[in-house]
Amino acid sequence: MSTVPAHVIERFTAVGDAPSVVTIGNFDGVHRGHQMLLALVVDSARELGVRPLVVTFEPHPVSVLRPEHPMPRISLPTLKVQAIRRCGVDDVVVVPFEQEFASLTAEEFLTLIHERVQPREIIVGDGFRFGRGRAGDSAFIEQFAREHGFKATILQRLEDSGQVVSSSRVREAISTGDVSAAEELLGRRFRLRGVVERGFARGRELGYPTANLMVVGELLVPDSGIYSAYVHILNGRQDPRQGLIYIGTSPTFEPRDRTVEAHILDFDGDLYARNIEIEFVSRIRGDEKFESVEALLDQIRRDEIATREILRERGPEPEWSEAR
C-alpha cells in the first residue's frame, strides 16, 4: 500500500515500468560535478542492462519555498535537459515542484521514486537533501535502499581548488563577472539567451550599433562590464559571430536600468525580435563613467581591439556552434 498521497503521484510524469539506475537533483547548470555523477549513472546502467534516468525539478525548489528570494538560473529548463542528455541520459523526468510536492516527507518522496522508476540503484551526491524540512540525507537513502532491495551509491562531490564544484559557486562566479571561472566549473562557457528588443539606439549613434537583449526568465546576468563573446543567432544556420558585449547602466549618460547589449563585429543586419544566445569568453573590464563621449569612444575602440585579439585565439565551442 502506497504511503504517497495519490494527488502527488498523479502529478509525477509516468515513465513506464522498465527498471533504472536513477539520480535525483535540480542540476542547474549541469556543471562538472553533475557531469561526473551522470557519467557514473550511465556506466552503472550499462553494466546492469537497465536505463539511466534523471529525476529533476522545475521550478527551482528555492523559488517555491522562498518566493521572496527567487533563485537566479544558470540555464533554462530546456537547455538543462539538453545538457543532461548530452551526458548520455535519454530519460529525464521533470517533476513540477509545488507546495504539495514540497510537503512530502523523506519517506514519501523515496517511496514515490521507488514505485515510479523501479530503481536497481540510486546514485546521488553526498550533499543531497530531500523531503519536508530537508530531513532526508545519504544515511536515509542507504537505509531505505536496504529495506526495499536496491543499491544506494553516495558519490563524494567533485572538488576544484580545494572547494566543492557547485551551482552556487558557478552563480557566484557569474554574478561577479568572472566568466572564466564559471567556464572552469561548468566545463563549458556560460551562455545567456534572450530576445532582441528596441533600445535607445545610442550605440548606433556612436558607430557601434548594439542588439539589446531582453533576458529570458530568471537567468543570471553577469556583473556589469565589457566582455568578449560569441553571439549565436538562433532559429537558423548562421555561424557564431564575434561580439563585444556591454552590461551596465551607461553611467556616462543619464541613469537608466541595467541592460545587456551585444555589438556584433563586422555585421550589418536587423536582429529585432530574433532569439540570440551570448557565449561569454572573457571579461575585458568593468563598467566605467567617462568624462566625455570622446573618451568613451576611445575606450570602446580599445575594447574592440582587445576583443578581436582574444577571439582570434579562442574560437566558439564546437559542440554548441549550431543554432538550436
Domains present along the chain, CATH in parentheses: 18-164 (3.40.50.620), 190-315 (2.40.30.30)
Q: Which three cell numbers mark 91?
A: 530519460
Give which of 102, 30, 32 is closest to 73, Cα–Cα. Answer: 30
Output the CA–CA distances (angstroms, integers) from residue 317 to 229, 232, 287, 309, in the order listed: 11, 11, 27, 17
CA dihedral in degrees (158, 160, 165, 168; nearest 10)? 160
State pTM to two decimals: 0.90
Question: Is 248 in a helix, a strand, or coil?
Answer: strand
Kind of pairing, strands 275-286 and 259-264?
unpaired
With 70 as the cut, is the pLDDT of residue 122 above it?
yes
Whether the ω angle into residue 316 lies within 30 degrees of 0, i.e. cis, is no
Q: What is the mean pLDDT of residues 172-199?
A: 95
Q: What is the DSSP letter of 197?
A: E
Cα–Cα distance measured from residue 120 to residue 12, given in angstroms and rounded to the nearest whole number: 19
Average pLDDT along the chain: 89
For the segment 45-70, what is each residue's pLDDT rounded down to a tens digit? Answer: 999 999 999 999 888 888 888 888 87
Q: What is the pLDDT of residue 182?
A: 98
* pLDDT band (50, 70, 90) for residue 148: very high
Residue type, 42: V
Residues 108, 126, 31, 85: is their CA dihedral positive or negative? Answer: negative
Range 223-249 average pLDDT? 92
Decide if 27 contacts 84 (C-beta within 8 A): yes
Length of the chain: 324
Contact assessment for residue 243 and residue 231, using Cβ atoms and an 8 Å cutoff:
yes
- Whether the pLDDT of residue 196 is over 60: the answer is yes
Reported confidence tier of residue 204, pLDDT bands at 50, 70, 90: low
**Residue 275 CB partners (closer than 8 Å, separation 6+):** 193, 194, 195, 196, 233, 234, 235
Banded pLDDT at 11 (limits 50, 70, 90): low
Judged against a pLDDT cut of 60, whether residue 3 lies above it is answered with no
CA torsion sign, 262 to 268 to 274 to 276? negative
Tell me the C-alpha distance between 134 and 146, whole Å. 21
Q: What is the pLDDT of residue 275?
A: 92
Contact of 54 with 38, CB cutoff 8 Å: yes
pLDDT confidence of residue 27:
95
Non-local (6+) Cβ contacts of 14 within 8 A are 116
